[in-house]
Amino acid sequence: MSENSFGFVGLGALGLPIAANLLRAGHSLKVYARKFEQSKFNKLKAAKFCKSAEEAAIDSNVFFICVSDDKAVEEVLFSSEGAYKSLEKGSIVIDLSTISPSKARSISKRLAEKNIEYCDAPVSGGTEGAEEGTLTMFLGCNIQTIERVRKVIKSIASNIYCFGKVGKGQEVKAINQILVAGSYMAVAEAISLGEALELPMDIVIEALQKGAASSWALTHRSKAMLEDNYPLGFKLALHHKDLSIALNTAEETGLTLPITKKVREIEKSLIRKGYGDHDVSVIKRFLLERCND
């Protein structure tokens, strides 16, 4: 295997710019996407497009996965055309997907039977971070593995944190998504009140960003909420899935998270109304539509 031969499966809103950044860093990349759209993948002209995950994993010493959920990761690795068939001893799987900690651990055990290392490596930072290569990565693996791939992942993430055992990265991502849920809901409620009071919201938001109320959601998603226009950054349906993982993880420890549970209920109601493919900031629609009822 060549030193920088990589495979990549999952070219969605996050995966596509991440793969593009790996190419820009000079790495050889083989990619696979279930749906091929030439215009969408123009940024990956230097990559080799494969017909399956199995093909993308051939001669890849580092294999990236960036898909939607537990089932999708399972299929990428262990389906009839899965990567497991062609991944070689000593290779590393870096799973950027957000999945349950228990699934991450079970995948790791299965890959270890073939002496393949697995890192759960969920990321945070939205499409903006993916495009700019400034994502934050929560890694579940040992330090030795990190050192083997640090140079590689620095081309896609500027903040890299290792939490030891496999599954721990996913546990930290669950905490991250709880905070995202609360902050997005708080921004939506704050903007709704400001609008009801007929305040100059552009100036209000600028002022709030200078004080203790500042947050990523306020800085990056307040404009979408003000305009009631929600271009995709991170799908509401995927965040709803992530909150289910977070709540299940909390329940396993005996914790009840009432605010997170309420936000999940709100997201579920919006998904039922057809907003699942919108950005998470569409959560403001819940307040807007309640006012109009």
Write out the DSSP string of 101-146.
HHHHHHHHHHHHTTT-EEEE--EESHHHHHHHT-EEEEEBB-HHHH
Q: Which CATH architecture has domain 171-292?
A: Orthogonal Bundle (1.10)
pLDDT digits (tens, 9 = 90+) for 20-59: 999 999 999 999 998 767 667 788 999 999 999 999 999 9
Residue with tokens 């919201």: 201
pLDDT at position 288: 85
Length of the chain: 293
pLDDT digits 0-9 by tens, 269-287: 999 999 999 999 999 999 9
The pLDDT assigned to 1 comes to 38
Identify the pLDDT of residue 40.
72
Average pLDDT, integer, range 195-220? 97
Q: What pLDDT score does 38 carry?
A: 64
Owner of token pair 């990349």? 29
Residues spanned by CATH 1.10.1040.10 within the chain?
171-292
* Residue ranges of the chain that CATH labels 3.40.50.720: 5-166
Identify the pLDDT of residue 110: 97
The model's confidence at residue 141, banded by pLDDT at 50, 70 and 90, is very high
Through-space distance between the first and last CA atoms of the chain, rounded to whole angstroms: 61
**CB-CB neighbours of 57 under 10 Å:** 28
Instruction: Assign a CATH topology to domain 5-166.
Output: Rossmann fold (3.40.50)
Q: In what order do the strands lie in the sheet with 117-120?
A: 48-49, 28-32, 5-9, 62-65, 92-95, 117-120
pLDDT at 62: 97
Give the pLDDT of residue 3.
Answer: 56
pLDDT at 7 over 80: yes
- Which residues are marked as active site? 173
β-pairing verdict for 135-139 and 157-162? parallel
